[in-house]
Amino acid sequence: MISKLTIHSTTTLSSGKQIPLLGLGVWKNRSPVPACSAAFDAGYRHVDCAILYKNEEEVGVAIRGSDLKREDIFITSKVISRWHGYDMTLKAIDDSLDRFKLDYLDLYLIHEPLSGKAKRLETWRALIKRRDDGKLKSIGVSNYGIKHLEEIKEAGLETPSVNQIELHPWCQQRPIVDYCQKNNIVIETYSPLTRGQNLDDPTLQNVAKKYHKDGAQILIRYSLQKGWIPLPKSSQPQRVLSNAQVYDFELDTDDMGALDSLDRGKDGAVTRNQVDAP
Contacts of 259 (CB under 8 A, 6+ apart): 169, 203, 204, 207, 218, 222, 251
How does strand 162-166 pair with strand 136-142? parallel
Which of the following is catalytic: 44, 53, 190, 222? 53
User: Quick one: residue 106, left, alpha or beta (phi over 0 = left, psi -120 to 50 = alpha)?
Assistant: alpha
Neighbours of 263 (CB within 10 A): 15
Q: State how far the Cα of 245 lies from the Cα of 229, in Å rounded to an integer.
A: 15
Residue 190 annotated as catalytic: no
Q: Long-range CB contacts (< 8 A, 24+ apart) of 265-272?
A: 265/171, 265/172, 266/171, 268/168, 268/169, 268/170, 268/171, 268/172, 269/166, 269/170, 269/171, 270/166, 270/170, 270/171, 270/191, 270/194, 270/195, 270/197, 270/198, 271/166, 271/190, 271/191, 271/195
34 contact partners, CB below 8 Å, separation of at least 6 = 235, 237
Q: Which residues are catalytically annotated?
A: 53
